[in-house]
Amino acid sequence: MADHIYTLCIAGNPNSGKTTLFNALTGAKQHVGNWPGVTVEKKEGKVEHNGLEFNIIDLPGIYSLTAYSMEEVVTRDFILKERPHVVINIVDATNLERNLYLTTQLLELGVPLILVLNMMDEAEKKGFKIKIPHLEKLLGVPVIPMVASKGIGTDELLKKVGEILEEKTRVVPRTPRYRKEIENAIQNIERALVSLLPKEFIEKYPPRWLALKLLEQDEEIIKKCKKRVKDDSLFTLVNKEIQRITKILGDDPETLIADQRYGFASGAFREAVKITIKDRISMTDQIDKVLTSRILGIPFFILIIWGSFQLTFTLGEIPMHWIEAGFNLLGDLFAQWITLPWLRSLVVDGIIGGVGSVLVFLPNILILFLIIALLEDTGYMARAAFISDRVMHFFGLHGKSFIPMVIGFGCNVPAVMATRVLENNKDRVITILVVTLMSCSARLPIYVLFAGAFFPKHAGNVVFSIYILGIVLAIIMARFFRVVLFPGESAPFVMELPPYRLPTFKGLMIHMWDRGAMYVQKAGTVILAGSMIIWFLSSYPTNPSLTENYNRLLQQETARHKSALTRIAQSVNVPPEQLPSYLPFKSYKEIMDSFREESTERVKKQCSLGDLIQKRDEALAEVESKFPGTLPLFRTYQSEVEKHRKITAELAARMAAEKSANSYAGRLGRFVSPILRPLGFDWRNTVALISGLVAKEIVVGTMGVIYQVGEAQNESQKLMESLRKHMTPLTAYVFMVFSLIYLPCIATIGVIRRELNSWKWTLFSASYTTVLAWIVSFIFFQGGRLLGLG
Amino acid sequence: MGNNNLKPLSELLPGERGIIRKMNVRGPIRRRLMDMGFVAGTPVELDKEAPLGDPVDILVKGCHVSIRKDEAQNVLIEVPS
């Protein structure tokens, strides 16, 4: 029985079908996390076969085992330190020669290895005849042919793993022998290592391999050895050997070793593979003739990016509305159940609102990651980077930064998550830092409000200028960060353009699901906590000392309204509560309502206002003739109802405004408002900006509350009017600029924290944007004043 | 086979082939290029340029690898006459 869990790991080049094999073996039973300390993804899954239980680890896709990237270091450290029972090296059989280069290095680790030749069907079509027993003999390890996408060969693989574990099959990896001078150096260094290094270290890291790495000047291994060897003797020896080899062989050991590994790989390839067809034009080349062609390449690229954006946000909007509606309904339900006001506010506004603000992004994220998985798995993502790199490189970014930047215009949250396509951490950090400058759709309502209020004739151009400002700032900051944060490091752009392939449905679904789950679990907690804090700040204290007793004023108004209604009711002899259903009043109201409806639609129905008024007056007179004297009374009644509605709305709005100004958020706003005064903002602007931390669209709502607009029908009109009273066009524009740049919303901060796995970068992102917002706004405001615009 | 008929990889025309003779690239990118198959003696072909002229797509050891012209300039190629 399975009393022991065996560890297997899958290693291989990117695009060799590693993840397809992993999915085929583990199915949905997998867990995605990060390797400790780094943002490299770690996938684990469990599988049982013939009573043996396996824990399978999908290692990151790599080309080599140097210290070039985090992925390579993670892989070799895992294999050497954790000592998995069997290492499965999957290779793309259609690209066997290049893939065997990594295999050569894995063989040198001296661990039990199985070589899996994936995509055997394609290799056969390409005319490759691979003599498997011959290859097994040349490499000294078992070789399994496979078509992972169809599940062919997975059983044979697990059977072979079982044989190795039961020691029915012995694995003795064969490794390249280097030229005499290098072999001598390896032996000398090996001897020194064995005598100088602690035993536990040598047991983990084979001395021959260490010696090779030292000759290759591998930074990680040098660091590791330096930590353990006190004196300089080891490095003096290594340097002496390197100089000697370079002098005799005319090239540095690093190059020579790589050369000979390739020699070993292509030797094995040539001996074990017979190529029967020559130079057939592949499907990939034919597709690339269109998709990366000089003329059609860019139009197709724009079309695909545009399509991705549209799908993510247009299609995502539908379930987004459902989620919003669902949470509103849930909130209403709880609002009815819970009578305690503070508990109601906590549950409805705090918890349900907070969870809603996390889940509302989920449709976007799922669709986006489905599209990204599709682009990556088909091979188009690499082409997109190939096409856009010229432009992005100019900005100090990478070709693959393009997609996150475009997604940023929709929403910064999925945009930050989309930076996962970037392999290089520096590229990722810079892209994440500037992606928040892409004006997301939540900021649009702010621009629409202010542009509509202050620049009604040029609203479109004004909003467009804000978007352009965001892009320009992103370019400037990207170049700035490249120089200041990562000086002297060129961003290498060496990227494989993999063959186009049909993705598997299972692979796409797993990919999408993993990302969605990760977003909810990890980013969700930060977003939820943040939303709760902001909710608390803006709704507490619940009973601040107000300048007036609004509740009493409201009661007084209700009493006044009631007595006014009673007076009207007495003159027609009905109880006051039956006034709305009193027959003539009801008829008048219906006439007035239908008049209002018709007059708003009169352009569409093509009738003149005069005719409608005449029609209305005739109808009113008809009722009046049946019930004489009721029309003037109805007019009094109508104006009383309207008056009451206005007064209560105004009182409620004033109370809300005062409460909001006295809440912790309001106090904070007033406290920090001196800092924003040089930008032309008053405390109201500041409070609105603080509320925008939850989500930038809230700024508009807060503005409504602070400017005491209440629940009037023409709310936005009234808000615009009162904004015009308090602000100038210049401050309005500066406010838009500030809204564009400052602190991304809580949700974005949450995913930045999650994606970069670092509070340091998260805080940096939050603070640099705010400082930048201040500086740019200051320049606009003071510059505008100098030009006499204020 | 002197150095006189060596030319930078970036100057190959689309479809033109040659053999790598010298890698003048330094730093981590050299390592990366070697891992992708760019070693002396390897035949390469410049398959195509990106629509905007940079980077270029190099066919090396059966794989398409895209590199920027800045880097390709330092890979010296012998073109068979």
- CA–CA distance, A710 with A716 (Å, rounded to integer): 10
Q: What is the reported pLDDT for B80?
A: 82
Option in B32, B48, B52 nearest A492 (CB): B32
Name beta bridge partners: A496. Answer: B65
Query: Quick one: pLDDT band at residue A63, thresholds 50, 70, 90?
Result: very high
Asked if A98 and B42 come within 8 Å (Cβ–Cβ), the reply is no
Average pLDDT score, chain B:
89
Q: What is the reported pLDDT for B57?
A: 95
Q: Which two tokens stand for residue B12?
A: 């190959």
Domains and CATH numbers, chain A: 5-165 (3.40.50.300), 180-249 (1.10.287.1770), 297-437+474-525+532-536 (no CATH), 550-652 (no CATH)
pLDDT in tens, A735-781: 999 999 998 888 899 889 988 888 999 999 999 999 999 999 999 99
Q: What are phi and psi of A757, to 5 degrees?
A: 55, 40
Q: Give the mean pLDDT of A583-611.
A: 84
Asked if A386 and B35 come within 8 Å (Cβ–Cβ), the reply is no
pTM above 0.80? no
Q: What is the reported pLDDT for A132?
A: 95
10 Å CB burial of residue A533 (0-12, 13-18, 19+) is: middle
Q: What are phi and psi of B48, to 5 degrees?
A: -160, 165
Minimum Cα–Cα distance from A64: chain B residue: B35
- CA–CA distance, A525 with A355 (Å, rounded to integer): 9
First vs last C-alpha separation in chain A: 82
Does the pLDDT of residue A311 top 60, yes or no?
yes
- CA–CA distance, A775 with A768 (Å, rounded to integer): 10
Name the 3-class secondary structure at A441.
helix
Q: What is the reported pLDDT for B17?
A: 94
Option in A64, A97, A295 nearest B35 (CB): A64
Does the pLDDT of residue B31 top 90, yes or no?
no
Q: What is the reported pLDDT for A1?
A: 43
pLDDT in tens, A551-594: 888 899 999 999 988 888 888 888 888 888 888 888 888 998 88
The alpha carbon of residue A499 is apart from the nearest alpha carbon of chain B, in Å, by: 8
Minimum Cα–Cα distance from B65: chain A residue: A496
Does the pLDDT of residue A275 top 90, yes or no?
no
- CA–CA distance, A764 with A434 (Å, rounded to integer): 12
Residue found by looking up tokens 């995913």 in the block: A751
- CA–CA distance, A58 with A19 (Å, rounded to integer): 7
Asked if A390 and B66 come within 8 Å (Cβ–Cβ), the reply is no
Q: Which two tokens stand for residue A673?
A: 């408002």
The alpha carbon of residue B5 is apart from the nearest alpha carbon of chain A, in Å, by: 21
Q: What is the reported pLDDT for A712?
A: 47
Q: What is the reported pLDDT for A298?
A: 92
The alpha carbon of residue B63 is apart from the nearest alpha carbon of chain A, in Å, by: 7
B58 in Cβ contact with B46 (< 8 Å)? yes
**For the ranges A176-190, A281-295, A470-484, which has the lowest average pLDDT?**
A281-295
10 Å CB burial of residue A722 (0-12, 13-18, 19+) is: middle
A153 in Cβ contact with A287 (< 8 Å)? no
Q: What is the reported pLDDT for B38?
A: 94
Query: Quick one: pLDDT band at residue A3, thresholds 50, 70, 90?
Result: low
Query: Quick one: pLDDT band at residue A489, thresholds 50, 70, 90?
Result: low
Option in A262, A493, A496 nearest B39 (CB): A262
What residues 280-309 of chain A have any CB closer than 8 A to a CB of chain B? 284, 288, 292-295, 297-298, 301
**Percentage of residues of chain A with pLDDT beyond 70:** 96
Q: What is the reported pLDDT for B1?
A: 47
A278 touches chain B (CB under 8 A): no
Q: What is the reported pLDDT for A604?
A: 76
Query: Quick one: pLDDT band at residue A783, thresholds 50, 70, 90?
Result: very high
User: Contacts by A236-240 with C-beta closer than 8 Å and gap 24+?
Assistant: A237/A188, A237/A189, A237/A192, A238/A189, A238/A214
Query: Quick one: pLDDT band at residue B27, thresholds 50, 70, 90?
Result: confident
A390 touches chain B (CB under 8 A): yes
pLDDT in tens, A122-153: 999 888 999 999 999 999 999 999 999 899 99
For the beta carbon of residue A210, count every other beta carbon within 10 angstroms. Answer: 23
Asked if B28 and A492 come within 8 Å (Cβ–Cβ), the reply is yes
Percent helix, percent strand, percent coil in chain A, to nearest 5: 70, 5, 25
Minimum Cα–Cα distance from A103: chain B residue: B35
Does the pLDDT of residue A482 top 60, yes or no?
yes
The domain B3-78 having CATH identifier 3.40.980.20: the answer here is: no
The alpha carbon of residue B31 is apart from the nearest alpha carbon of chain A, in Å, by: 7
First vs last C-alpha separation in chain B: 11
Quote the distance between the C-alpha of residue A657 and its chain's center. Answer: 35
Q: Which two tokens stand for residue A280?
A: 């057939």
Option in A382, A391, A495 nearest B52 (CB): A391
Residue type at A153 in one-letter notation: G
- CA–CA distance, A507 with A521 (Å, rounded to integer): 21
Q: What is the reported pLDDT for B16?
A: 94
Asked if A490 and B53 come within 8 Å (Cβ–Cβ), the reply is no
A85 in Cβ contact with A58 (< 8 Å)? no
H-helix or E-strand spanning residue A58: strand A52-58
Q: What are phi and psi of A4, to 5 degrees?
A: -135, 135
List residues of chain B with CB under 8 Å from any CB of chain A.
23, 27-29, 31-37, 39-42, 48-55, 57, 60-68, 71
A398 in Cβ contact with A491 (< 8 Å)? yes
Measuring CA to CA, which residue among A694, A691, A686 is closest to residue A750? Answer: A694
Residue found by looking up tokens 């390890």 in the block: A141
A490 touches chain B (CB under 8 A): yes
Q: Provide, as residue numbers in chain B, all residues whose Cβ is less than 8 Å from the Cβ of A494.
A: 29, 32-33, 36, 65-67, 71
Q: Provide, as residue numbers in chain A, all residues whose Cβ is less than 8 Å from the Cβ of B28.
A: 68, 492
- CA–CA distance, A682 with A698 (Å, rounded to integer): 18
Does the pLDDT of residue A95 top 80, yes or no?
yes
The alpha carbon of residue A208 is apart from the nearest alpha carbon of chain B, in Å, by: 20
Q: Give the mean pLDDT of A196-207.
A: 88
For the beta carbon of residue A628, count every other beta carbon within 10 angstroms. Answer: 8
Full DSSP string of B8-75:
EGGGPPTT-EEEEEEE---SHHHHHHHHTT--TT-EEEEEEE-TTS-SEEEEETTEEEEE-HHHHTTE
**Percentage of residues of chain A with pLDDT beyond 90:** 36
Measuring CA to CA, which residue among A382, A64, A98, A99 is closest to residue A254? Answer: A64
Query: Quick one: pLDDT band at residue A709, thresholds 50, 70, 90?
Result: low
The alpha carbon of residue B58 is apart from the nearest alpha carbon of chain A, in Å, by: 9
pLDDT in tens, A317-375: 888 889 888 988 998 899 888 888 788 878 887 788 778 877 877 888 788 888 888 88
Average pLDDT score, chain A:
87
Q: What is the reported pLDDT for A358?
A: 74
Does the pLDDT of residue A714 top 60, yes or no?
no
ipTM: 0.94
Option in B35, B41, B64 nearest A63 (CB): B35
The Cα-based distances of A183 to A245, A259, A605 in angstroms read: 10, 14, 94
Option in B28, B33, B55 nearest A389 (CB): B55
Total number of residues shown for chain A? 790
- CA–CA distance, A687 with A698 (Å, rounded to integer): 11
A72 in Cβ contact with A219 (< 8 Å)? no
